[in-house]
Structure 1
Amino acid sequence: MFERITENTFDEIFPLLESAFPVTELRIREDQRKLLQEDCYRLYGVRKDGIFAAVFATWEIEDFLYIEHFAVKEEFRNGGYGGNLLDRLLEEKGRPMVLEVEVPQDDMTRRRIGFYERHGLVYNDYPYLQPPMRKGQGMLPLRFMTKPTAVDEKTYERYKKLIYKIVYKYEGE
């Protein structure tokens, strides 16, 4: 079901990432491709009717799973498909999970947070700044969602430090 993306299938899946994320939340194509060489990085695609219908970009860091990207192709949304995939991924990986979401400011960001809450994730209100994904960009204010529970400040700081170091290669803050 979860197809590990390789150099051979990367160009087939990248357009789904581009269509689902703003440039502030996605690396340029070649930088994203280079991540395939990282030991703890996994890019997975899920096919439906022969085409990639969903994508997960994950990092297996120490004792937790960090989901950097999760997207479902527009025509497969709102029918439970994405939620089922998320549940299966979390069950298969069997470890605490962390992902970043926008600060809830409008209906869309609240709906996105609600989707994750329906799948057992908990919103953590610690201030978090995502390091730039591309040169020339600034820090992006986001929040963590975690599963199976909210995290205490010490755990939040540990997750943040590891994500900054391993995912973003960022030494600041």
Structure 2
Amino acid sequence: MFERITEKTFDEIFPLLESAFPVTELRVKEDQRALLKEPCYRLYGVRREGVFAATFATWEIEDFLYIEHFAVKEEYRNGGYGGMLLDALLAEKKRPMVLEVELPEDALTRRRIGFYERHGLVFNSYPYLQPPMRKGQGVLPLRLMTKPAAIDAKTYQRYKKRIHSIVYKYEGDL
């Protein structure tokens, strides 16, 4: 079901990432492509009728899995397809999961958080700042969602430090 994206298929999948994420949540194309060489990074695609209908990116970090991107092509949204894929991913990876979400400030962001909650992830209210994904950008206020349960402050700090260091190559304290 999940096709590992390689240099050969990267150009097919990147437009889906661009259409699903604002520039503040996506690296420039060549920086995103370079991640394919990172040992703990995986980019996957899911095809329907021969074209990529969904994609997700994960980082296998020590004892947890960080989901960096999860996107479903617009014409496949709101029909249960994304939920089925997320459930399959969660079932396949037998380790705690972490992902970043936007603050619940409007109907769309609350709906997105609700989607993840319906699939077993828990919203954690600790203030979290995502380091810039592109040069010239500032930090982005987000929150972490986790599975199988909410995390305590000590675990939050450990996850934050590892994500910042490994995913964003950021060693400061945000």
**TM-score above 0.5, yes or no:** yes
Partner of 1:147: 147
CA shift for structure 1 position 76:
0.3
3-state DSSP of counterpart to 1:94: coil
Instruction: Write the distance in 2 (CA, Å) between the matches of 1:80 and 1:95.
Output: 24
Residues 54-76 of structure 1 show CA distances to partners (whole Å, capped at 9, x for unaligned) of 00010000010000000000000
**Whole-Å separation in 1 of the counterparts to 2:107 and 2:20:** 17
Shift of 1:31: 0.1
Q: What amino acid is aligned across from residue 156 of structure 1 in structure 2?
A: Y
Structure 2 matches for 1:66-145, cutoff 5 A? 66-145=66-145
Pairwise CA distance, 1:16: 0.1
Q: Secondary structure at the match of 2:12?
A: helix
TM-score, normalised with respect to structure 2: 0.99
The structural deviation recorded for 1:145 is 0.3
2:30 and 2:86 map into 1 onto residues whose CA distance is: 26
Shift of 1:98: 0.2
Q: What amino acid does structure 2 have at the position aligned with 1:167? A: V
Gaps of 5+ in 2: none
Query: How many Å separate the matches in 1 of 2:9 and 2:97?
Result: 26
Secondary structure at the aligned position of 2:79 is classed as coil
Q: Which residue of 2 aligns with 1:17?
A: 17
SS at match of 1:56: strand
Distance 2:48 2:157 in 1: 38
Residue aligned with 2:55, SS: strand
Structure 1 residue runs of 5 or longer lacking an equivalent are: none
TM-score in terms of structure 1 length: 1.00
Deviation at 1:142, TM superposition (A): 0.1
Q: Which residue of 2 aligns with 1:157?
A: 157
| Residue 27 (structure 1) shift | 0.1
Identical counterparts, % of pairs: 82
1:16-41 deviation digits (Å, cap 9, x = unpaired)? 00000000000000000000000000
Aligned counterparts of 1:70 and 1:87: Cα–Cα separation in 2: 12
**Equivalent residue number for residue 7 of structure 1:** 7
Partners of 1:41 and 1:17 lie apart in 2 by 16
Instruction: Give the whole-Å Cα distance in 1 for the aligned partners of 2:171 and 2:95.
Output: 26
User: C-alpha separation between the residues in 1 aligned to 2:10 and 2:88?
Assistant: 22
RMSD: 0.3
Q: Which residue of 1 aligns with 2:62?
A: 62
Equivalent residue letter for 1:108: L
CA distance, structure 2, for counterparts of residue 47 and residue 94 of structure 1: 24
Aligned residue number for residue 39 of structure 1: 39
Matched pairs, number: 173
* Runs of 4+ displaced beyond 4 Å: none
